[in-house]
Amino acid sequence: MVSAGELFQKACNLIYLLFQMAIIWPWSMIKYFLPKNKKDISGEILFMSGAGSGIGRLMSIKFAELGAIVICTDLNAETAEQTANTIKSNGGKAYSYQLDVTDRLKVYALAEQIKREVGDVTMLINNAGIVTGKKILDAPDQLMVKTMEVNTISHFWTLKAFLPSMLEKNHGHIVTVSSIAGHSGAPAMVDYCASKFGAVGIHESLTVELIGIPDNKIQTSCVCPFFIKTGMFDGVSSGSPILLPLLEVDFTVESIVCGVLNDEETIYVPRMLLPLMILKNLAPSALMKPLSDYLKLHTQMNDFKGRKEGKKAK
């Protein structure tokens, strides 16, 4: 039997929570669109997966220009080295390593090697990704499994490799490169969307875990862009090119870097995706068909040019 005093305390706690929500929610929305003070990342040791091409390459170069020591990793050792050489030719500091992020033992071994040769990683950017771009019954089993391994499961291994030293120092920043496909489904992308939803789930769960640590100073950010013109989504069309045009690479990278420097928890690119996602989550399921018809979601992948083995991402 709950006493009157306990009921009163529970009611007071609920009222206080609602009061906090009434203040924090609108203020967070306002802050999202306000300019912020960017942090200094000089001397930070930054690990980048998928650094050999696309936004991974450009982010590596940009973060190096801001003073970070960049660890460029990629399945393709040659492209990772090219990114590192570009950074060094611009006066920055970089190292390159070949890495298959789906092989947890190789991730752990490389983490130890980096610790010996460079130091403790303080910024982790899980960027590597692939896309199959086929309807679920046309997608080969092995490609669907590989999509999950690269886009989602590999995050477990890098987190286990680099989070311990961040916790020990109570310093670090973990960036999960997901996609707007991690918040909204799309046809011919069932495995890709599942993997990106998983990446968002990892980010959100990890954030909650870190919040529970007293005086935690490890930051987390989740990057959720629309389709980017990196070559990964060649042939994909936008049903609403005015409302949601395909993203230019330079604009996307600048937006991501700015969001990371501002310690934003979720970085939508473009920023207008935030109110659209709020509307999407509030809208009844009956609106999905007219919305899908308006945005021509069922035709956006018709001309997708992904290779049979899946398109290398970022």
Read off the CATH number of the domain in which 282 is found. 3.40.50.720
In a domain, 251, yes or no: yes
In a domain, 291, yes or no: yes
In a domain, 307, yes or no: no
Which has more pLDDT, 236 or 266? 266
Residue 15: what residue type? I
Q: What is the pLDDT of residues 205-257, one digit of tens each?
A: 999 999 999 999 999 999 999 888 876 655 555 555 545 678 899 999 999 99
| Most confident option among 154-168, 280-294, 296-310 | 154-168
How many structural domains is the chain composed of?
1
Distance from C-alpha of 291 to C-alpha of 272, rounded to nearest angstrom: 17
Which has more pLDDT, 51 or 290? 51
Q: Indicate whether 177 pLDDT > 60.
A: yes
Instruction: Kindly list the catalytic residues.
Output: 192
Which of these, 282, 177, 279, 180, lies nearest to 236 by C-alpha position?
A: 180
Q: What is the per-residue burial (b if ≥16 Cβ within 10 Å, else e) of 210-226?
A: beeeeeeebbbbbbbbb
In a domain, 254, yes or no: yes
How would residue 186 be classed by pLDDT, with cut points 50, 70 and 90?
Answer: confident
CA distances in angstroms from 43 to 46, 48, 119, listed in the order given? 9, 15, 11
| DSSP string covering 161-199 | HHHHHHHHHT-EEEEEE--GGGTS--TT-HHHHHHHHHH
Burial class (CB in 10 A: 0-12, 13-18, 19+), 86: middle
Q: What is the pLDDT of residues 18-64, one digit of tens each?
A: 777 777 767 666 766 666 678 999 999 999 999 999 999 999 999 99
Distance from C-alpha of 4 to C-alpha of 75, rounded to nearest angstrom: 63
Which of these, 115, 82, 107, lies nearest to 96 by C-alpha position?
A: 82
Taking a C-beta distance cutoff of 8 angstroms, is the pair 189, 133 a contact?
yes
| Most confident option among 83-87, 136-140, 300-304 | 83-87
In a domain, 11, yes or no: no
In a domain, 21, yes or no: no
Per-residue pLDDT, 10? 76
In a domain, 205, yes or no: yes
Spatial CB neighbours of 239, under 8 Å, sequence gap ≥ 6: 294, 295, 296, 297, 299, 300
In a domain, 76, yes or no: yes
Q: Tell me the residue range of the domain where 257 lies.
A: 39-295
